[in-house]
Structure 1
Amino acid sequence: MAFNRSVMKKTGLFLVLLSIGINTINAQTFNEWFRQKETQKKYLLQQIAALQVYMGYLQKGYKIAKDGLHTISGFTKGELNLHTDYFNSLKTVNPSIKRYARVADIITLQVKIVQGYHSNYKQLCGTNALSGDELTYINEVFAKLLDDCAQTLDALITVTTDGKIAMKDDERLKRIDQLYADMQDKYSFSQSFSNDAKILAASRLREQTDIQTGRAWLGIQK
């Protein structure tokens, strides 16, 4: 039977990437990766717990306060060093920034990536349409993705924790927005990659069905 051309094209591209990935990435299962990444697991669990708190703020629509940090004062003309109190204030995170909606959004996307992986991988394994090497490659791709997500969460923790880094309120908000955009890209990739894998599995199943149908029409036994 003829297949939809766009599906075949997309499946072909995925197969090329799949073959490259299998040959270039060392085999490592998702569970093995998690055992080696205890720090990332800890951060993820912390952020999932924090999500419940942050989501409450989302419902109330908090506005970001504009007067959170002290202004520069007490400088003599030509003085190059910041006043000690002002510098220290830059290392204290304005509570309103911790309630910034994008913080919860970043965590939510991370949770969706993990949940989506578990759901899709279980579904793919159940089809018996992909080889062991192909499933291993999918594990490897998501292992790398989750490693990158952990780095994004590390950066989020740094920018929203007192004493970690000296930044103004607007700088912190800008950095959080950047981290949100980064996590959005990761989520979009996870969705696209999972869909490609499911399309490949579906095409394999159709091929198997076509072969079985053809054998039945011709009266050929397996």
Structure 2
Amino acid sequence: MKKAILFFVFTGLALSQCKAQFLGGFFNQQSTKRKIMAEQIADLEIYQQALKKGYHIAESGLNTAHDLKNGTFGLHTAYFNSLEQVNRVVANDPKGKAILDLQTELISLFDKEIAWQQKEKLLQVSELDYIQDVYNNLLNECKKNIDELNLVLTPGKMQLTDQQRLERLDHLYNSMKDKYTFAGDFIAKCRKIALNRQQAIKEKEQLKELYGIQ
């Protein structure tokens, strides 16, 4: 009888210990799972915060890049707009007026010479036509210079620095001066040919009178 009682007592104790171990292990496992889940949730929150922060930085970076781009574009636009303006120093440069004066004088030289040649009739028709052709070609070249001069001196037409505009004026002035110099030399030669013929005609008439040749 005592053995039976002891058997049940020991068996009960063993079952109690097993149950305690089982329940303890179960609760320990649940506690560990909760701990792991809590850590995962914490990690997820940290990740989301980092993601939001990263997105914010990226967004700010894009905005900054956009602002910088717009700012740089604005600077470039302002710079090129400034190149389209004509400084007073350029506008008041005497070479601008000198170019126009040279063209006017060139036209006057040719107009007077052609009128005189037509009146005196010392040159042949083909020679007069040649003079007119040279005159027309020079006028066309002068027009190109004047057109460029207007571009250089008119705001909004060309994107040039003040120095570049002044250099263009120098080039146009020298080009027009060369045309005027050529025109003067050409007309002088035409006049000389005509005067030589005039002199030859006079000498011929004098010889006729001298020798009584009709």
Give yes or no for the alignment of 1:162 onto 2:155.
yes
Give yes or no for the alignment of 1:131 onto 2:124.
yes
For residues 105-131 of structure 1, the C-alpha deviation after alignment (integer angstroms, 9 at most, x for no partner) is 000001001111111111122221111
Larger Rg: 2
Equivalent residue runs for 1:18-97 within 5 Å: 83-97=76-90
Give yes or no for the alignment of 1:200 onto 2:193.
yes
Taking a change above 3 Å as real, the CA distance of residues 219 and 184 of structure 1, as seen in their structure-2 partners, is: same
Cα distance in 1 between the residues matched to 2:189 and 2:75 = 53
Give yes or no for the alignment of 1:189 onto 2:182.
yes
Aligned to 1:120: 113
Partner of 1:83, secondary structure, is: helix
Aligned to 1:148: 141
Cα distance in 2 between the residues matched to 1:184 and 1:197 = 20
Structure showing greater relative contact order (alpha-carbon pairs closer than 8 Å, 6 or more residues apart): 1
Q: Give 2:145's aligned amino acid.
A: T
Cα distance in 1 between the residues matched to 2:75 and 2:167 = 22
Cα distance in 1 between the residues matched to 2:170 and 2:213 = 61
Large movers: runs of 4+ above 3 Å: 79-82
Q: Give 2:96's aligned amino acid.
A: V
Aligned length: 145
Aligned to 1:178: 171
Cα distance in 1 between the residues matched to 2:166 and 2:145 = 15
Give % identity: 32
Q: CA deviation at 1:82?
A: 6.5
Q: Give 1:188's aligned amino acid.
A: T
Partner of 2:202, secondary structure, is: helix
Cα distance in 2 between the residues matched to 1:135 and 1:82 = 59
For residues 11-45 of structure 1, the C-alpha deviation after alignment (integer angstroms, 9 at most, x for no partner) is xxxxxxxxxxxxxxxxxxxxxxxxxxxxxxxxxxx
Partner of 1:129, secondary structure, is: coil
Cα distance in 1 between the residues matched to 2:73 and 2:124 = 64
Q: CA deviation at 1:171?
A: 0.7
For residues 156-212 of structure 1, the C-alpha deviation after alignment (integer angstroms, 9 at most, x for no partner) is 011111111100001100110110000000000110000000000000001111111
Cα distance in 1 between the residues matched to 2:141 and 2:177 = 12
Taking a change above 3 Å as real, the CA distance of residues 83 and 200 of structure 1, as seen in their structure-2 partners, is: same
Aligned to 2:96: 103
Q: Give 1:150's aligned amino acid.
A: K
Q: CA deviation at 1:81?
A: 10
Unaligned runs of 5+ in 1: 1-74
Cα distance in 1 between the residues matched to 2:204 and 2:75 = 75
Partner of 2:115, secondary structure, is: helix
Aligned to 1:217: 210
Cα distance in 2 between the residues matched to 1:169 and 1:159 = 10
TM-score calculated relative to the size of structure 2: 0.64
Partner of 2:127, secondary structure, is: helix
Query: What RMSD in Å do the two structures reach over aligned CA positions?
Result: 2.0
Q: Give 1:99's aligned amino acid.
A: N
